[in-house]
Amino acid sequence: MALEKVKKDSDYFRFSELTQPLGDISVCNFSGWSGLELFKFNLPMGKSISNLHISEFRPDVDDKEKIFFTTEGNIKFAYENLNLELKKFDAVDLSDGKNYSFEAIEETFLFMVTSKNSQKINEKIKIFNFKKDLEKRDLWGGQIISRPYEGKELTLVLFELKSGFKFDDKGHPNHQITWLTSGEMDFYSNGKKDLLNSDKGISIGPNHLHGGISKGAVGFDAFYPKRIEEKYKAK
């Protein structure tokens, strides 16, 4: 379907309603209006996922930038001559098409953000931790800690919200997907209101007014195309 024919609306989604089996693991895949894609893999202990699984499941993102990261559990990451143990908030930015695999040391949630409409990229791998390697930024005031990561085609932001934090955004042309890994937040976008939690996220339409009130939460914003404002740029 051509991008211009896609309904560019704000919509809530549930991970539990989108989950499907993928061999020995399960995966939830949410596809947004811009081509922005969010995947959540549930890997039981000892189970793994590799570039071969991704290629078979979604060949249209095989040669696109893919940012993988964990939110709980431990996982073994293998890539060329690298063998690393990834822990909470460790992330891998891959775009070179080489072989890789993730094997769960214990039950692990592994997220992947990509865009099927992004450019083909062939650049070196980047490995980082959202909390250890990305500086805190005051994007919205003192009641929120933001850690933005500028990828090649994508922007990802880890945020921590204090209870009572409130914000209102006039909107932006970038597609935004927001979801929580813990806590809750009353949220609205384009007049639609609902409660965000670890099962329910929101896909935000272009230039849609959005905002909400936190009850104390940790979560992520994913943007495509990436944000070009200086406050989101790598330093």
Residue 55 CB neighbours (<10 A): 14
What's the predicted TM-score (pTM) here?
0.95
pLDDT tens, N- to C-terminus, the chain (235 residues): 344 467 899 999 999 999 999 988 999 999 999 999 999 999 999 999 999 999 999 999 988 999 999 998 899 999 999 999 999 999 999 988 789 999 999 999 999 999 999 998 888 999 999 999 999 998 887 789 999 999 999 999 999 999 999 999 999 999 999 999 999 999 999 999 999 999 999 999 999 999 999 999 999 999 999 999 999 998 7
Contact 227, 155 (CB under 8 A): yes
Contact 208, 63 (CB under 8 A): no
DSSP string, 12-74: EEEHHHHEEEETTEEEEEEE-TTSEEEEEEEE-TT-EEEHHHHHHH-GGGTTS-EEEEEEES-
What is the C-alpha to C-alpha distance for residues 134 and 89, in angstroms, rounded to an integer? 11
What is the C-alpha to C-alpha distance for residues 71 and 27, in angstroms, rounded to an integer? 15
Contact 157, 134 (CB under 8 A): no
| Per-residue pLDDT tens digits for 34-51 | 999 999 999 999 999 999
| Cα atoms in the Cβ-side hemisphere of radius 13 Å centred on 17 | 7
Distance of CA 198 to the CA centre of its chain: 13
In sequence order, the 6+-apart residues with CB closer than 8 A to the CB of 228 are none
Nearest to 178 by CA among 132, 116, 113, 230: 113
What is the C-alpha to C-alpha distance for residues 60 and 68, in angstroms, rounded to an integer? 17
Coil, helix or strand at residue 232:
helix
The dihedral sign for the CA sequence 129, 133, 139, 144? positive
